[in-house]
Structures are given as structure tokens and as C-alpha cells.
């Protein structure tokens, strides 16, 4: 009986994730873009952006040039969390998009992967087993 309930909960979570995948993707895209625009390098939201970029070896939404529209970029350049090797990145490199192209991760966030992760987290939450 219990295993049937677990299976049913997983099935519902999987179907929900599939049905709402576009909404989930759009929400992640909008939220991450907003986080980039309000990035300051110090608050919790900025630390979350840094963590995602380091963990996924990525930079920006589509790519590192997305940072050029951020207020943070005007003063500081691209965040160091985008660097392939932070010891090889200096602030001058991160202000220049041409130079930064050789120093930072080229790919952006994989929103579909993030949406899948959210669906997995939702399943864990619903099942209480993570």
C-alpha cells in the first residue's frame, strides 16, 4: 500500500513537471535574469548566482555577454564566479568582453536542466525523502 502511494506521488510529480515544463523554464529564466540585474556580489541572491555559475561552470543566462546589461558590470565587470580559473582572472580582464571571452565559462545556464532539478526537488519535498 505504502509503495503504491510513493509510486503514485512520483508519477504525479513527473507528469506535473512534464505538463508545466514551459512555465517552469520561463520562471527560471525570468528569476535568473532578475537576479543578474540586481546582482551586487554580497547578498544571498548574488551568492546563489555565484554558486550556480561555479557549480555548473557557466556564466549568464545564454552566455557571459548577458552580464554586459547588468549594473554590476559597469562598475565591476563580469563576476569572478564566471571564471574558468579564478586565479587567472583579474578585474581588468572581467571589464573587457573580448578578453573575458578567453577567461570565463562560455556557456550559459541550462534552464531545462534547472527545471528538471526543480522537479526533482519538488518530488523529494512531496515524498519527504531527499
Q: Show the cell assigned to 1.
A: 500500500
CA 52, 33, 92: angle at the middle one, nearest 5? 70
Collect all residues with Cβ–Cβ distance below 8 Å to 98 and sequence separation of at least 6: none
Full-model pTM: 0.68
Per-residue pLDDT of the chain (130 residues; tens, 9 = 90+): 777 777 777 777 777 767 777 777 788 788 888 999 999 999 999 999 999 889 888 898 888 999 999 999 999 999 999 999 988 888 899 999 999 999 998 876 554 455 555 555 544 444 444 4
Amino acid at each position: 500500500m505504502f509503495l503504491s502511494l510513493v509510486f503514485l506521488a512520483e508519477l504525479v510529480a513527473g507528469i506535473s513537471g512534464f505538463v508545466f515544463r514551459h512555465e517552469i523554464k520561463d520562471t527560471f529564466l525570468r528569476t535568473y535574469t532578475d537576479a543578474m540585474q540586481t546582482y551586487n556580489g554580497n547578498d544571498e541572491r548574488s551568492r546563489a548566482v555565484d554558486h550556480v555559475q561555479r557549480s555548473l561552470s557557466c556564466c549568464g543566462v545564454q552566455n557571459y555577454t548577458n552580464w554586459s546589461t547588468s549594473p554590476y558590470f559597469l562598475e565591476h565587470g563580469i563576476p569572478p564566479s564566471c571564471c574558468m580559473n579564478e586565479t587567472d582572472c583579474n578585474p581588468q580582464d572581467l571589464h573587457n568582453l573580448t578578453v573575458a571571452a578567453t577567461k570565463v565559462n562560455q556557456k550559459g545556464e541550462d534552464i531545462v536542466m534547472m527545471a528538471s532539478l526543480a522537479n526533482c526537488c519538488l518530488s523529494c519535498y512531496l515524498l519527504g525523502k531527499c
